[in-house]
Amino acid sequence: MDFRLLEYIVKIAEENNITKASEKLFISQSALNQQLLKLEQELGTRLFHRSRTNWHLTEAGKIYVEGARDALKIKHDTYTRIQDICDSKTGTLTIGLTHGRGIYMFASLYPELHSRYPGLDLRPVEMNVYKQQEAIVQGSIDMGFLALSREQRTSDCYENLISEEMVLALPASHPAAGSANPPGRPLAVINLDLIKDTPFVLLFKESSLHEIVDNAFKEAGFEPSLLFETSNTVSILMMVQSTYCCGVVPYFYSRKYPEGVVYFALPGHPCWDLAISYRKDIYLSSAARDFIELAKEYWENQKG
């Protein structure tokens, strides 16, 4: 069995485009196309419907890719088990990371993980929560660092790191800012009527936070006036600091950007979990298990 060919076909299916797939695989498009044509000739059927901008699987292609992913998973698990038995401290570990905090955490954990596994090929990949969930199912990442509510979880495994509340960020010059509790005390709950005319900067719709914030406002019977949406939580706080608007951010960020901003708890105290997720049927290498334990220690320290 040619595992490299399996990887080629799976990558084309993931990218829905042979040009993008060839770039990710670091081979020429013509060479990749030749491999695909040879396989289709061998099978006696096409695996992809072709167009200039979008390749998608035929029924035969869906069957082939499903089998290819199963075969690649067996290979991955087999090699990983053998490497653990031999204590070789090698192999590959691909970890999905959310933008912002995922990189903060990875930068803190990398030195220790690298010292334990100097031969490990550690591959961090930044992507949003929903993309990570797809990649975990497809097997293109081994595990993901996610921030999401319990309702947003899939049927995969989730190891909880911490639970975290969403908080309202308000400019210190806002009239409602005077009702904030002083630092060191629990956050006061904001009366949303006080900010109903204040524009909001929120995370974009593809973020798992957007759904949680939407539900919180619906329960409060409050529809925020939207100034704009962003993919970066830090951008929200920069806008709150410099303009007359407010935003909703995870509590973690409230400790890093205090200047010119006051924070309130939201009615109902909406929250989410930071978690590590992976497929139920995957073998976790010793490096993967160590990464999870290091992540738990990291976030336990962050709580303090």
Residue-wise pLDDT tens digits, 26-64? 999 999 999 999 999 999 999 999 988 889 999 999 999
pLDDT in tens, 117-172: 999 999 999 999 999 999 999 888 999 999 999 999 999 999 999 999 999 999 99
Domain ranges (residues) in the chain: 1-88, 163-270
Residue 65 bridge partners (DSSP):
none
Provide the b/e sequence for 94-117 (b: ≥16 CB within 10 Å): bbbbbebbbeebbeebeeebeeeb
Residues 6+ apart with CB under 8 A from 211: 149, 152
**The one-letter amino acid at 140:** S
Specify whether the CB–CB gap between 136 and 279 falls below 8 A: yes
- Residue 297's pLDDT is what? 95
Interval 125-134: pLDDT, tens: 999 999 999 9
Long-range Cβ pairs for the range 104-113 (8 Å, 24+): 105/145, 105/295, 105/298, 105/299, 106/145, 108/298, 109/291, 109/294, 109/295, 109/298, 112/294, 113/287, 113/290, 113/291, 113/294
CATH number of 1-88: 1.10.10.10
Q: What is the DSSP letter of 280?
A: T
pTM across the whole model: 0.77
The tokens of 81 are what?
């088990």
Tell me the pLDDT band of 257, cut-offs 50, 70 and 90. low
Report the CATH architecture of 163-270. 3-Layer(aba) Sandwich (3.40)
Q: Tell me the pLDDT tens digit for each residue of 17-34.
A: 999 999 989 999 999 999
Contact 147, 214 (CB under 8 A): no
- Residue entry with tokens 């869906």: 62
